[in-house]
């Protein structure tokens, strides 16, 4: 084997070798450190060990070949650049060992600072830091060195050797108590030296070995620990929740230490180039003098607003501002920054495109367009439908006193206020009395379903975004905070404690399903200004609301860019009107079921019980004018826009009273000696019509073929309404849609009858009426070429297509076991929430292609709930549908996502 011929894999990159586009390989932190280095910003020198090395290590449990040598080589050049050797007893180089994955996982992964300190180099560090030699400086330098050493043992012990962190905390508390202080800064060099001894004993006790004194061994062990932190349980859970792939691995950054804890002319801080909460321009951040980086996040001492730095150290402050402006211009986005000042010298330790709230995302995208940094296509790419949906919920008004008592996971958005209850039964009881309730459980299970339906919101102390509570609440569109683990819940005693307070049944709490925050008492709720804008109550030209202006601008661009039309699912004139204000370009699904409800039920009963044709015709004849009036209203509201009316879909027995109730009625009436013929007939009908599996029974087109005159009555009502509207100057565009077709023959039969009626009714007043079908039975998708011969349009009913494609009865499976499927990763998201591209989506693709091949002018749309789901909208765009249809409230989301789909060329996400 000729060793010189094997090209060695490159596992280590100097900061000067990388750039911001290498996130896959160098992780976000490493790629951005490299970018800043190459921009000429003052980044302490260092190098990055790649995610490849991490993956190789995790696969085999050993460092891959060549890694140790490459680290040694890069360490040597780092030492040369700094003019110091790692852990040198006289003048030690210290480094930090920092994790950094492709996607930021805040607080999940590990960092060890001050690597290279040991019993000897701590003295060298003190001597070097003392520098000038005067007494006070030497005392401060001693303190600094011992403080750095105790931090190393603490971080190294905790993250590398799994020593319980509290042990170190307790020892620190003991030291402060002995000194009679609560402030870390009051501990002097001697105290800290003592603390180092205590820490070492703790380390020995838990690991069975002395704290490693060899600097390179410290470094290697720390690197390993960062690799392994990728698979730490909390990281695994976090990734699952945030849908970050499990196989990316983390990079490791080794960075020369700079010290913010060298005295009052040193310090550390974080900065944002704009307000990540509102998007407002300005200087946002926090600064802490005489501290190391971790102290800012740990909140041990109170930070000061970044602006104060101007008074403390104007040179560094001005320099920082100029870098912030540079970075923003360079990344063309909000950046967040970590920095440290060592004795008046500014060092940049991290930057990244910063996380932001939904509102800030819109505002910032709008501002960046104004500033000429990005164009409108890019602005559209920077926001998404989930953020817009979030902005359409009412929000808590948190200006004053309210502080959260706990923070869980925002599992299903919204702002809910209500009385606390601890059982499903109590939730149902109180809700029936008209009370708003919040159901509080450790976790929920299928037995809690009724309580969940009754409650305004759901709060659990366990479980994440895919827990039972979260999945079911999202399915119901109900506010849910899950996994609020600070809550100590006692169900038998009907109380919970949190932050030292006890909350018992009936006390009011407020939960925010977007942020996951929990408040005691009633937090006032205010309407969404974005909804007010969509409703036409806020004029984007007049208002000075930056969010409304930005939303207006970006929505207008989405509308101009999108190829998909957006329609709405609306059954009533009121819904239609609202959807139209929200930008709907027609109705994609008008269900007719509700037209058989209320006081019309009696007519349905007569229809079902009809003993002969005359009685049936009488019942249908009575329904006809009622339905016609409904359609007239809807066509008026949708003047000039298409309205797809679906003929009746659910099984007729759904309109009858439940069996048990009828049985009781009959028994009671018999007892009283009343005439029970009618009740008995109904009871018999219900028994006769009972189905084992109504989802797959006598419904949809099957009803039309089995019950004479039913569809004919509906068709007549639709067309007569259209004629009536046309006569009064309105432009109706009715489209008649036949549900649940699986074979072209079904459609042909219904169609022949419908065409006869249309011809008859429109003889004097012509109106164009389209006839089409839903594609919601797998067989229809697979025979779409045949069905298209008889259909002028297809509308994909992706709810039923998903039910029948997977064989899932939605009502049964979501509450019963979906959480388990999500936990097992069988799917990453419920296929009812977001279309299953590979399976159900494939059926859509096949039907679209074969339908269009048979009839090129075939109109294609979708009317399942997926029509308002961001990912699904992108899929329907790709497949080439003409429109999506969704509930009125999702119409803006669909418009935005259709626009994004149209401008996106690479399909990359905007996480």
What are the catalytic residues?
A: 468, 863
Nearest position to ligand ADP, beta carbon: 293
Partner interacting with residue 340 (select from ligand ADP, Mg ion, none; CB below 5-8 Å by kind): ligand ADP
**Which CB, 350 or 444, lies closer to ligand ADP?**
350
Using CB under 5 A, pick the residue from 212, 408, 513, 797 that binds Mg ion.
Answer: 797
Taken in order 28, 31, 34, 39, is the CA torsion positive or negative? negative
Burial class (CB in 10 A: 0-12, 13-18, 19+), 177: exposed
**Which CB, 256 or 392, lies closer to ligand ADP?**
256
Shortest distance (Å) from residue 206 CB to ligand ADP: 23
Partner interacting with residue 757 (select from ligand ADP, Mg ion, none; CB below 5-8 Å by kind): none
Partner interacting with residue 776 (select from Mg ion, ligand ADP, none; CB below 5-8 Å by kind): Mg ion
**Which CB, 48 or 510, lies closer to ligand ADP?**
48
Note whether 767 binds ligand ADP by CB under 6 A. no
- Paired with 841 in beta bridges are none
Shortest distance (Å) from residue 323 CB to ligand ADP: 15
287-291: Cβ within 8 A, 24+ apart:
287/312, 288/260, 289/264, 290/185, 290/260, 290/261, 290/262, 290/263, 290/264, 290/266, 291/260, 291/261, 291/267
Distance CA 117, CA 93 (A): 9
Cβ proximity of 583 and 892 under 8 Å: yes
Shortest distance (Å) from residue 255 CB to Mg ion: 11
**Residues 7-66 within binding reach of ligand ADP (CB under 6 A):** 44
Tell me the DSSP string of 868-901: G-HHHHHHHHHHT-SEEEE-GGGHHHHHHHHHHH
CB under 6 A: which stretch of 61-69, 185-193, 255-263, 615-623 binds ligand ADP?
Answer: 255-263
Site string for Mg ion, 347-386 (x = CB under 5 A): ---x------------------------------------
Distances (CA, A) of 539 to 181, 543, 558, 559, 672: 58, 6, 19, 18, 65
Torsions phi, psi for 460 (to 5 deg)? -125, 160
Shortest distance (Å) from residue 617 CB to Mg ion: 28
**Which CB, 28 or 851, lies closer to ligand ADP?**
28
Site string for ligand ADP, 329-368 (x = CB under 6 A): ---------x-x--------xx------------------
Q: If you ran DSSP here, which 8-state letter would residue 417 be given?
A: E
Shortest distance (Å) from residue 380 CB to ligand ADP: 30
Using CB under 6 A, pick the residue from 257, 421, 835, 848 that binds ligand ADP.
Answer: 257
Distance CA 168, CA 463 (A): 30
Partner interacting with residue 605 (select from Mg ion, ligand ADP, none; CB below 5-8 Å by kind): none
Site string for ligand ADP, 484-523 (x = CB under 6 A): ----------------------------------------
Shortest distance (Å) from residue 663 CB to Mg ion: 31
Nearest position to Mg ion, beta carbon: 800
Q: At what angle do helices 613-637 and 601-609 cross, to 10 degrees?
A: 150
**Which CB, 589 or 643, lies closer to Mg ion?**
589
Distances (CA, A) of 417 to 389, 434, 443, 509, 766: 20, 14, 19, 6, 54
CB under 6 A: which stretch of 249-257, 408-416, 483-491, 723-731 binds ligand ADP?
Answer: 249-257
Among the listed residues 324, 286, 322, 325, the one whose alpha carbon sits nearest the alpha carbon of residue 304: 286
Note whether 800 binds Mg ion by CB under 5 A. yes
CB under 5 A: which stretch of 87-95, 757-765, 771-779, 854-862 binds Mg ion?
Answer: 771-779
**Which CB, 338 or 342, lies closer to Mg ion?**
338
CB under 6 A: which stretch of 251-259, 507-515, 568-576, 838-846 binds ligand ADP?
Answer: 251-259
Shortest distance (Å) from residue 207 CB to ligand ADP: 23
CA 791 to chain centre: 38
User: What stretch of H or E contains 510?
Assistant: strand 508-512
Among the listed residues 493, 478, 391, the one whose alpha carbon sits nearest the alpha carbon of residue 437: 478
**Which CB, 268 or 786, lies closer to Mg ion?**
268
Note whether 159 binds ligand ADP by CB under 6 A. no
Shortest distance (Å) from residue 780 CB to Mg ion: 11
Site size toward Mg ion, by CB under 5 A: 5
**Which CB, 35 or 800, lies closer to Mg ion?**
800
Cβ proximity of 695 and 809 under 8 Å: yes
Shortest distance (Å) from residue 799 CB to Mg ion: 6
**Residues 288-327 within binding reach of ligand ADP (CB under 6 A):** 293-294
Site size toward ligand ADP, by CB under 6 A: 15
Note whether 98 binds ligand ADP by CB under 6 A. yes
Distances (CA, A) of 89 to 85, 138, 196, 551: 9, 17, 17, 60
Distances (CA, A) of 577 to 594, 636, 637, 641, 737: 18, 10, 6, 12, 21
Distance CA 661, CA 683 (A): 9
Torsions phi, psi for 521 (to 5 deg)? 85, -175
Partner interacting with residue 797 (select from Mg ion, ligand ADP, none; CB below 5-8 Å by kind): Mg ion
Shortest distance (Å) from residue 580 CB to ligand ADP: 48
Torsions phi, psi for 383 (to 5 deg)? -120, 170
Sorted by sequence, the CB contacts under 8 Å of residue 520 that are 6+ apart come out as 405, 501, 503, 507, 508, 509, 510
**Which CB, 96 or 783, lies closer to ligand ADP?**
96
Distances (CA, A) of 204 to 163, 192, 198, 200, 905: 10, 18, 10, 6, 57
Distance CA 205, CA 863 (A): 65
Note whether 32 binds Mg ion by CB under 5 A. no
User: What stretch of H or E contains 387?
Assistant: helix 385-391
Shortest distance (Å) from residue 104 CB to Mg ion: 9
Site residues (vs ligand ADP, CB under 6 A): 44, 96, 98, 111, 113, 255-258, 293-294, 338, 340, 349-350
Residues in contact with Mg ion by the rule CB under 5 A? 338, 350, 776, 797, 800
């Amino acid at each position: 084997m000729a060793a010189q011929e094997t090209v060695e894999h490159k596992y280590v990159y100097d900061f000067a070798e990388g750039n911001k586009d290498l996130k896959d390989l160098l992780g976000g932190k490493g790629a951005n450190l490299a970018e800043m280095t190459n921009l000429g910003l003052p980044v302490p020198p260092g190098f990055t060990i790649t995610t490849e090395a991490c993956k190789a290590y995790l696969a085999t449990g050993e460092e891959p070949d060549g890694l140790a040598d490459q680290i040694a080589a890069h360490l040597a050049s780092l030492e040369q650049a700094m003019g110091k050797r790692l852990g040198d007893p006289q003048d030690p180089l210290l480094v930090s060992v920092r994790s950094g994955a492709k996607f930021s996982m805040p607080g999940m992964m590990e960092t060890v600072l001050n690597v290279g300190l040991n019993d000897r180099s701590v003295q060298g560090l003190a001597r070097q830091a003392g520098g000038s030699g005067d007494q006070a400086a030497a005392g401060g330098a001693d303190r600094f060195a011992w403080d750095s050493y105790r931090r190393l043992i603490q971080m190294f012990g905790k993250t590398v050797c799994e020593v319980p962190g509290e042990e170190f905390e307790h020892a620190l508390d003991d030291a402060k108590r002995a000194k009679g202080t609560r402030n870390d800064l009051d501990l002097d060099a001697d105290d800290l030296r003592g603390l180092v001894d205590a820490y070492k004993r703790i380390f020995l006790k838990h690991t069975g070995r002395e704290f490693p004194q060899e600097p390179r061994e410290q470094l290697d062990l720390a690197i390993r620990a960062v690799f392994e932190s990728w698979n730490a349980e909390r990281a695994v859970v976090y990734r699952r929740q945030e849908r970050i792939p499990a196989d990316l691995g983390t990079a490791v950054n080794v960075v020369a230490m700079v010290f913010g804890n060298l005295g009052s002319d040193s310090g550390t801080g974080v900065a944002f180039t704009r307000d990540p909460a509102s998007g407002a321009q300005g200087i946002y951040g926090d600064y802490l003098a005489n501290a190391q980086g971790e102290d800012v996040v740990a909140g041990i001492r109170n930070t000061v607003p970044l602006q104060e730095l101007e008074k403390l150290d104007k040179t560094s402050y001005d320099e920082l501002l100029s870098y912030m402006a540079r970075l923003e211009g360079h990344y063309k986005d909000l950046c967040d920054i970590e920095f440290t000042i060592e004795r008046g010298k500014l060092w940049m330790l991290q930057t990244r495109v910063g996380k932001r709230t939904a509102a800030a995302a819109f505002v910032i995208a709008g501002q960046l367009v104004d500033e000429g940094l990005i164009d409108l296509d890019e602005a559209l790419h920077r926001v998404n439908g989930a953020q817009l949906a979030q902005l359409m919920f009412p929000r808590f008004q948190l200006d004053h006193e309210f502080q959260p008592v706990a923070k869980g996971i925002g599992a299903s958005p919204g702002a809910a206020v209500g009385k606390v209850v601890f059982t499903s039964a109590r939730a149902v009881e109180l809700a029936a009395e008209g009370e708003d309730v919040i159901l509080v459980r450790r976790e929920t299970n299928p037995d809690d379903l009724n309580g969940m339906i009754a409650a305004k919101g759901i709060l659990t102390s366990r479980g994440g975004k895919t827990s039972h509570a979260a999945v079911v609440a999202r399915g119901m569109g109900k506010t849910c905070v899950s996994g609020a683990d600070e809550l100590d819940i006692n169900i038998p005693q009907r109380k919970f404690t949190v932050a030292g307070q006890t909350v018992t049944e009936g006390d009011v709490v407020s939960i925010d399903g977007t942020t996951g925050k929990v408040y005691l008492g009633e937090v006032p709720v205010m309407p969404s200004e974005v909804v007010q804008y969509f409703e036409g109550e806020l004029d984007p030209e007049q208002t000075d609301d930056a969010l409304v202006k930005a939303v207006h601008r970006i929505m207008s661009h989405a509308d101009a860019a999108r190829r998909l039309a957006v329609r709405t699912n609306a059954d009533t004139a009121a819904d239609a009107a609202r959807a139209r204000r929200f930008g709907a370009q027609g109705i994609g699904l008008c269900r007719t079921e509700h037209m058989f409800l209320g006081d019309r039920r009696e007519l349905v009963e007569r229809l079902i019980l009809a003993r002969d044709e005359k009685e049936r015709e009488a019942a249908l004849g009575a329904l006809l004018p009622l339905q016609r009036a409904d359609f007239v209203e809807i066509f008026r509201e949708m003047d000039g826009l298409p309205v797809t009316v679906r003929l009746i879909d659910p099984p007729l027995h759904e309109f009858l009273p439940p069996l048990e109730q009828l049985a009781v009625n009959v028994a009671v009436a018999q007892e009283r000696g009343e005439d029970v013929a009618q009740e008995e007939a109904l009871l018999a009908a219900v028994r006769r019509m009972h189905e084992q599996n109504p989802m797959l029974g006598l419904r949809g087109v099957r009803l039309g073929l089995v019950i004479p005159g039913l569809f004919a009555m509906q068709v007549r009502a639709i067309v007569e309404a259209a004629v009536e509207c046309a006569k009064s100057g309105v432009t109706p565009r009715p489209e008649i849609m036949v549900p649940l077709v699986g074979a072209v023959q079904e459609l042909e039969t219904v169609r022949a009858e419908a065409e006869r009626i249309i011809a008859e009714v429109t003889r004097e007043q012509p109106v164009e009426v389209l006839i089409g079908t839903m594609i919601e039975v797998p067989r229809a998708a697979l025979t779409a070429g045949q069905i298209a011969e008889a259909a002028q349009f297809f509308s994909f009913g992706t709810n039923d297509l998903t039910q029948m494609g997977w064989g899932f009865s939605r009502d049964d499976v979501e509450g019963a076991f979906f959480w388990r499927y999500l936990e097992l990763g069988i799917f990453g998201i419920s296929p009812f929430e977001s279309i299953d591209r590979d399976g159900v989506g494939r059926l859509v693709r096949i039907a679209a292609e074969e339908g269009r091949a048979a009839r090129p002018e075939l109109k294609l749309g979708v009317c399942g709930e997926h029509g308002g789901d961001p990912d699904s909208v992108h899929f329907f765009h790709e497949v080439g549908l003409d429109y999506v249809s969704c509930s009125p409230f999702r119409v803006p989301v669909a418009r935005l996502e259709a626009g994004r789909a149209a401008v996106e060329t690479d399909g990359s996400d905007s996480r």
